[in-house]
Amino acid sequence: MDVFEAIRTRRSIRAYKNEPVPEESLARVLEAARLAPSAGNRQEYKFIVVRDEKRRRELAEACNNQSFVGDAGVVIVGCATNPQRRYAFVDVAIAMDHMTLAARAEGLGTCWIGAFSEARVKEILGIPDSVSVVCLLPIGVPATEGVMRGRKSKEELFPNETWPV
Q: Is residue 153 part of a domain?
A: no
User: Does residue 33 register a pLDDT over 90?
Assistant: yes
- pLDDT of amino acid 34: 98
DSSP letters, 116-160, are S-HHHHHHHHT--TTSEEEEEEEEE-BSS---PPP---HHHH--S
Residue 62 has pLDDT above 90, yes or no: yes
The per-residue pLDDT for range 119-156, each reduced to its tens digit, is 999 999 999 999 999 999 999 999 998 888 889 999 99
Q: Answer yes or no: is 161 within a domain.
A: no
- Look at residue 150 and tell me if it is in a domain: no
- How far apart are the C-alpha atoms of 165 and 160, rounded to whole Å? 11
Q: Round to whole Å and give the CA distance between 73 and 136.
A: 13
The number of domains in the chain is 1
For residue 151, being part of any structural domain is answered with no
CA distance 35 to 54: 30
Domain around 35 = 3-144
CA–CA separation, 137 vs 110, rounded Å?
6
Contact in structure between 75 and 69 (CB atoms under 8 Å): yes
Categorize the per-residue pLDDT at 16 as very low, low, confident or very high, splitting at 50, 70 and 90.
very high
In a domain, 152, yes or no: no
User: How many other CB atoms are there within 10 angstroms of residue 1's CB atom?
Assistant: 12
Query: For the whole model, what pTM was predicted?
Result: 0.94
pLDDT tops 90 at residue 80: yes
Which CATH number belongs to the domain containing residue 28 in this structure? 3.40.109.10
159 lies in some domain: no
